[in-house]
Chain A
């Protein structure tokens, strides 16, 4: 069934179709409608889940963790300051191997107070041990929630579904709502290898001596390394059932490109239109949209970029004192490769400033006219 829904509700439908059993959340703009709709679904019986009202995001995640440990499929959603308040609990989720799935609406961090899109909130949680997916359409948001539960529960690692404030969260698009029976076929009930229950008592999260801690982290890393292959496998399985492939990256006209944009989020879709327009003018551009950010899709990124002369990485974020974060990641992925492109780093769209087709044309012009950037960070659309 096709419906015209906003990105926030795509998250809600994704959680509903995944048959989430516990939802604990605290409202924050621009995430609010995600949990509004889920609370309605819980109230009217559409979704057979326990909705737990809490007083903060820290408590929201804590409630999700307790429920996950008890063996329930759990979901929550937040944005920006709310995500930051969860920070401690994010480590608990991954370290404790609790496969919570969370939507995060990318919103710039305050101050200055902002409700607009920027990736610094989720990227500040890069090293918390969560899988991170960056989406470009409402359809992809809904589909990825379902896929994320499957990946997370298989490896017992939590997942974050990331979407841009307003450009997805409040934008209505046509979305195919999958059939529940087929979703059930794809995603069986959560059956964890261990759970918190009086019938089989265990201690969780206890003091871990130097004799044991490092092995827990080694295992988490080893399981993280399995994510890319599992995303490919479940993405193909999803495609067989629903006709839509869900991969680690989306490659658009990269094979013969002289210049490839590396993008994420909605900018990764606008870039495709810019690529079409540049090609009409005889410029062979391409676009590599990174969807899976953690773990980083090294193999796919290397496979595409090692055959390209020039790469322009667009970041809607910044690591102060360093560079754009995707730029760092791409450079690190290409380091030591037998063939490596010239890589340029651009920062645009902070705090919700629009990223347009013209932004990409400016980036293309800069990249194609130079063999080295004048400065490590090239700012697009900044009033200096």
Chain B
């Protein structure tokens, strides 16, 4: 079983990112369980989303406390909260940032990877310059780094699940996949 925690801010599409990833993984016969933070969400405030992935039915319905990996959709959260809380040793920290991994000072037991999803989203005109929607680009990087699923499955999931500018979202995910 693989457990992943997403960190974002309300309005960035963090929950949608976990849903798209779940759709893509389900297409390849995986069992998935994806859920948002249990409660109320506010635009701009830190939000969480979680996903469990397994090749057999998932019975554990409790929350995820010790994720295998974390994905940080908004890099300013690295300063605001402890994104490594409960993270397993050897886990990936995938950050949307234009800085290199060395820029972030995490314990060496974690593996840091950065992808400039914001630049990719802006390039494909997703959201606005002030508030780009980076979620589909992030998923492209995540499936590559964590070797979760084939790109074709993600592309199909985006086409089915994203109603606004699906093709631009596909391009963003593919570009992030290729850069990752």
A residues touching B (Cβ–Cβ < 8 Å)? 2, 4, 115-116, 136, 164-168, 170-174, 266-267, 269-270, 272-273, 352, 354-357
- Cβ of B31 and Cβ of A357 under 8 Å apart? no
A167 contacts across to B, CB distance below 8 A: 35, 38, 61
A352 contacts across to B, CB distance below 8 A: 38
CA distance A300 to B119 in the complex (A): 60
CA distance A165 to B35 in the complex (A): 12
CA distance A133 to B110 in the complex (A): 45
- Cβ of A4 and Cβ of B19 under 8 Å apart? yes
B22 contacts across to A, CB distance below 8 A: 4, 172
**Beyond A269-B61, A357-B60, is A4–B39 a contact (Cβ under 8 Å)?**
no
- Cβ of B62 and Cβ of A354 under 8 Å apart? yes
**Beyond A172-B35, A173-B33, A352-B38, is A357–B62 a contact (Cβ under 8 Å)?**
yes
B63 contacts across to A, CB distance below 8 A: 354, 356
- Cβ of A4 and Cβ of B26 under 8 Å apart? yes
- Cβ of B62 and Cβ of A171 under 8 Å apart? no
- Cβ of A174 and Cβ of B26 under 8 Å apart? yes
B73 contacts across to A, CB distance below 8 A: none
Q: Looking at the complex, which one of B33, B38, B65 makes contact with A166 (CB distance below 8 Å)?
A: B38
Q: Within 8 Å of chain A (Cβ to Cβ): is B34?
A: yes
- Cβ of B32 and Cβ of A173 under 8 Å apart? yes
Q: Looking at the complex, which one of B34, B60, B65 makes contact with A269 (CB distance below 8 Å)?
A: B60
CA distance A149 to B18 in the complex (A): 34
Q: Within 8 Å of chain A (Cβ to Cβ): is B23?
A: yes
Query: Considering the complex, which residues of chain B in the window 15-37 have a beta carbon less than 8 Å from any beta carbon of chain A?
Result: 18-19, 22-23, 26, 30-36
- Cβ of B61 and Cβ of A267 under 8 Å apart? yes
Q: For A166, give the chain B residue with the smallest CB separation.
A: B38
- Cβ of A172 and Cβ of B34 under 8 Å apart? yes
What's the nearest-Cβ distance from chain A to residue B50, in Å? 9
10 new A-B contacts at CB < 8 Å, known A171-B33, A266-B61, A355-B62: A2-B26, A116-B38, A116-B39, A167-B38, A171-B34, A171-B35, A171-B61, A269-B59, A356-B63, A357-B60
- Cβ of B23 and Cβ of A166 under 8 Å apart? no
Q: Within 8 Å of chain A (Cβ to Cβ): is B45?
A: no
What's the nearest-Cβ distance from chain A to residue B154, in Å? 13
Q: Within 8 Å of chain A (Cβ to Cβ): is B81?
A: no
CA distance A267 to B65 in the complex (A): 17
Q: Within 8 Å of chain A (Cβ to Cβ): is B130?
A: no
What's the nearest-Cβ distance from chain B to residue A96, in Å? 36
What's the nearest-Cβ distance from chain A to residue B101, in Å? 30
B40 contacts across to A, CB distance below 8 A: 115
- Cβ of B59 and Cβ of A174 under 8 Å apart? no
CA distance A341 to B22 in the complex (A): 43
- Cβ of B60 and Cβ of A273 under 8 Å apart? yes
- 6 residue pairs from A and B, CB less than 8 Å apart: A4-B23, A4-B34, A116-B38, A172-B34, A273-B60, A355-B62
CA distance A314 to B164 in the complex (A): 45
Q: For B51, give the chain A residue with the smallest CB separation.
A: A172
- Cβ of A272 and Cβ of B32 under 8 Å apart? no
- Cβ of A170 and Cβ of B36 under 8 Å apart? yes
- Cβ of A172 and Cβ of B33 under 8 Å apart? yes
What's the nearest-Cβ distance from chain B to residue A111, in Å? 17
Q: Looking at the complex, which one of A115, A172, A267, A269 makes contact with B19 (CB distance below 8 Å)?
A: A172
B62 contacts across to A, CB distance below 8 A: 270, 354-357
Interface string of B50-78 (1 = CB under 8 A from A): 00000000111111010000000000000
Top 9 A-B residue pairs of the complex, sorted by shortest distance between their CB atoms: A266-B61, A166-B38, A171-B35, A356-B62, A172-B34, A269-B59, A272-B59, A273-B60, A174-B26
What's the nearest-Cβ distance from chain B to residue A352, in Å? 7
B30 contacts across to A, CB distance below 8 A: 174
Q: For B157, give the chain A residue with the smallest CB separation.
A: A4
Query: Considering the complex, which residues of chain B in the window 86-112 have a beta carbon less than 8 Å from any beta carbon of chain A?
Result: none
CA distance A244 to B38 in the complex (A): 29
B59 contacts across to A, CB distance below 8 A: 269-270, 272-273
- Cβ of A270 and Cβ of B39 under 8 Å apart? no
B39 contacts across to A, CB distance below 8 A: 115-116, 166
A267 contacts across to B, CB distance below 8 A: 61
- Cβ of B36 and Cβ of A270 under 8 Å apart? no
A136 contacts across to B, CB distance below 8 A: 61
Q: For A359, give the chain B residue with the smallest CB separation.
A: B62
Give the residue among A136, A164, A167 with the most B Cβ atoms within 10 A.
A167
CA distance A172 to B35 in the complex (A): 6
